[in-house]
Structure 1
């Protein structure tokens, strides 16, 4: 049922709604509890908290942003119930009081039920009370989302546990994106939720509408540097749980493409160790190496040279030689990336014209490296480098595994694995 089919018991302009909105705006929890527990009747009354249907008031002065919305023909109306308000704000005593008076735990005039609201806010005590009063653990919102799909924060772990204890389906795909609860947890970096869902039999390789698995969704979600450790643990959990490391989404992008786009070298190494293809091409013809190079300058604090190094040590094709000046222009401010990539070629013809693509201030900042690069315009690479390239060609995709087995000193092993030194020889 659409929320336009409901007649609110307390419309937007009613005295009670005005007082309730004042209490909510002031975060006056005691006053809010008094209003919804003692003044609202019946117990499942429909309350209208917002309505932007400007057509009801032709004289209304509309902001420009609202006028842009005319073309969408979408007008929002926020309807709710006392129980939904109490659950959304985590007032367990109020939820208990309303349920004791016979409130319907599944009423959802606004499109979401009280259980959805409790899960969205991470209010475990409220969720448990609702479930004990026979709230449907798989109730779908107007958007087609079950309560488990709204467990999107670390605080909602208890809600997720309660839902599963009461029979919620961990396999249900919901919303327009057809995400499973595992997808949602992966997208939000919730490693404990992932552990919980996998323990309850969540299908680890289920696809959403974009053909993403949970692993792909986790690698594609933008992560701040401080969140990457949790993302790494989450992806390790998924891989141990049987996630395929090299599945592709609707654009043929793999989890490795996405990890490279975030310059998360530890995650890149994890995926490569589990069989991700370093040479995979997406529909646009981009390889994981291309993604790493495109974002290197924006992620210099994340040591993007480690991502490039890992890819090359797992058999990634290098960049076409004629495209190297474009890479130099893009990555000039991250010379370690240039060094690692340059050392993957047995011989690359250096041109003095390349200096034109390097900003002068960048050249001066990294002068020793760039002087060593342009010195090679007049000389062949050293014999040691040519031996390195020969061994790397023989080992191919297994460089990362085989080089450490060679009876060589650690510095020489590092040299074979393209460890940057700061200058070229």
Structure 2
């Protein structure tokens, strides 16, 4: 029976639910524990905490925000949805100019699910002692799912000791390991594996393995745990991604990026393919460059990632970082471009440079690194028109030096740099091994100076 058909023992309008919701809203943990442990008729009772079932009455006024965009659904479609309140119709707003969504939300739960979700170890022990079913999931997720999602290790261990199924699938097809999504949930993951959970379990619409989930959230310790239990490092999910590909495609906060880098290094040490392509023919390097992560891009290049790879959209890793340069930190974008060019990435077709200038103008360091990868590039006075006035004003020394090269040859020093780089070919990163002053090493590696000569 689906949750939409289930008759709760305590519906939303009941006094018990009102008391429970009041305690939850007030974050009164003692009151929550009292309600679920002493005021329900039986331990596996079904409690309704939310119900947005507005579609059961076709005449009801629609909630604000339910219909979005300028594309109205047909009366026939509305009638169809009114007959099935659990239907969710959603269009992809990237594919259609109008977006409209009809969504029905109902939240059913149980005392054990509430206790596990909030980390009430004593309440979980009490309910299990009274015979609560550790696998009951009236709302689609069981108590073990809730404990893992909240990273409550003690609750997870109690449930597993009472024979909770470590591989129980939720309504979304997710096992508890798929819900170990934070660093704090490592203890839950360890407990699940000790009780027989599978590291190979595929789950959810994305058909991710637990290793994919760890990769998507930058969880290096989880990944180490799963690999130690035999997780396949190059298993593919429903989008054709390996764990390395998923890790490189995740936008991490600055404080998470070091952990994400350790994770990718771990996967590579375990044999992850640096050039594995997903369903869009994007490699891990494409994704790292799309997020302007220079340390990660360099790591992949050091493990043989192909800087010339092209995805289905015709973009190379260099194109991906240039597309992101206007919104990514300038230093990160410039260092990513440097890493690619120093490992033999093809540069941009000269005639397309004005387009790059238009896109990357707010990041002059990116423009400088790329410009210096050409022995000679014909500069036109018309380039001034593609640089926004406020950007030109903010970076006058650089852009004046760029436009001053119109009709002028580059310096002999620069031409020598290009000749040496041409000899090094795809191994430009070896420039520091040459018997030259350190300042020239930086010059050969295209370190930006802030002006052009």
Q: Calculate the TM-score normalised by the size of structure 1.
A: 0.96
3-state secondary structure, aligned to 1:291? helix
CA contact (8 A) 2:215 2:246 kept: yes
1:296 aligns with 2:313: no
CA distance in 2, matches of 1:91, 1:338: 56
Check 1:301–1:380 CA distance in 2 against 1; reply closer, same or farther (3 A cut): closer
Check 1:423–1:149 CA distance in 2 against 1; reply closer, same or farther (3 A cut): same
Residue in structure 2 matching 1:112, options 138, 141, 144? 141
Q: Using the TM superposition, give the Cα deviation of residue 82 of structure 1 relative to its aligned residue in structure 2, in angstroms.
A: 0.8
Equivalent residue number for residue 367 of structure 1: 396
CA contact (8 A) 2:338 2:445 kept: yes
Q: Using the TM superposition, give the Cα deviation of residue 326 of structure 1 relative to its aligned residue in structure 2, in angstroms.
A: 0.9
CA distance in 2, matches of 1:148, 1:242: 23
Q: Using the TM superposition, give the Cα deviation of residue 61 of structure 1 relative to its aligned residue in structure 2, in angstroms.
A: 4.3
CA distance in 2, matches of 1:219, 1:302: 19
Q: Using the TM superposition, give the Cα deviation of residue 194 of structure 1 relative to its aligned residue in structure 2, in angstroms.
A: 1.4
Residue in structure 2 matching 1:409, options 426, 437, 444? 437
Between stretches 89-98 and 213-222, larger displacement belongs to 213-222
Q: Structure 2: 5+ residue runs without aligned partners? A: 82-88, 90-101
Listed one character per residue, the Cα deviations across residues 276-320 of structure 1 (whole Å, up to 9, x for unaligned) are 111111111011111111111212354311111110011110000
CA distance in 2, matches of 1:164, 1:296: 42
1:158 aligns with 2:158: no
Check 1:195–1:377 CA distance in 2 against 1; reply closer, same or farther (3 A cut): same
CA distance in 2, matches of 1:357, 1:188: 39
Residue in structure 2 matching 1:247, options 250, 272, 276? 276
Equivalent residue number for residue 28 of structure 2: 28
CA contact (8 A) 1:278 1:314 kept: yes
CA distance in 2, matches of 1:255, 1:13: 51
3-state secondary structure, aligned to 1:298? coil
Equivalent residue number for residue 282 of structure 1: 311
Equivalent residue number for residue 423 of structure 1: 451
Residue in structure 2 matching 1:343, options 372, 376, 380? 372
3-state secondary structure, aligned to 2:230? coil
CA contact (8 A) 1:118 1:124 kept: yes
Equivalent residue number for residue 46 of structure 2: 46
CA distance in 2, matches of 1:65, 1:234: 40
CA distance in 1, matches of 2:331, 2:183: 25
3-state secondary structure, aligned to 1:48? strand
Q: Using the TM superposition, give the Cα deviation of residue 366 of structure 1 relative to its aligned residue in structure 2, in angstroms.
A: 2.3
Q: Using the TM superposition, give the Cα deviation of residue 334 of structure 1 relative to its aligned residue in structure 2, in angstroms.
A: 1.6
Listed one character per residue, the Cα deviations across residues 235-287 of structure 1 (whole Å, up to 9, x for unaligned) are 11111122111111111111111111111111111111111111111111011
Q: Using the TM superposition, give the Cα deviation of residue 93 of structure 1 relative to its aligned residue in structure 2, in angstroms.
A: 0.4
3-state secondary structure, aligned to 1:297? coil
Between stretches 86-95 and 235-244, larger displacement belongs to 235-244
Equivalent residue number for residue 3 of structure 1: 3
3-state secondary structure, aligned to 2:329? helix
CA contact (8 A) 1:264 1:302 kept: no
Q: Using the TM superposition, give the Cα deviation of residue 33 of structure 1 relative to its aligned residue in structure 2, in angstroms.
A: 1.0
1:205 aligns with 2:234: yes
CA distance in 2, matches of 1:98, 1:416: 69
CA contact (8 A) 1:263 1:302 kept: no
3-state secondary structure, aligned to 2:255? helix
Equivalent residue number for residue 13 of structure 1: 13
Q: Using the TM superposition, give the Cα deviation of residue 368 of structure 1 relative to its aligned residue in structure 2, in angstroms.
A: 2.3
Q: Using the TM superposition, give the Cα deviation of residue 187 of structure 1 relative to its aligned residue in structure 2, in angstroms.
A: 0.9
CA distance in 2, matches of 1:302, 1:124: 40
CA distance in 2, matches of 1:61, 1:328: 51
CA contact (8 A) 2:245 2:283 kept: yes
Q: Which stretches of structure 1, 4 residues or longer, exceed 6 Å deviation after superposition?
A: none
Check 1:58–1:355 CA distance in 2 against 1; reply closer, same or farther (3 A cut): closer
Listed one character per residue, the Cα deviations across residues 379-416 of structure 1 (whole Å, up to 9, x for unaligned) are 21222222222222222111113x22211111112211
Equivalent residue number for residue 297 of structure 2: 268
Between stretches 375-384 and 85-94, larger displacement belongs to 375-384
Check 1:387–1:173 CA distance in 2 against 1; reply closer, same or farther (3 A cut): same
RMSD (CA atoms): 1.7
Higher helix share: 1
CA distance in 2, matches of 1:221, 1:142: 25
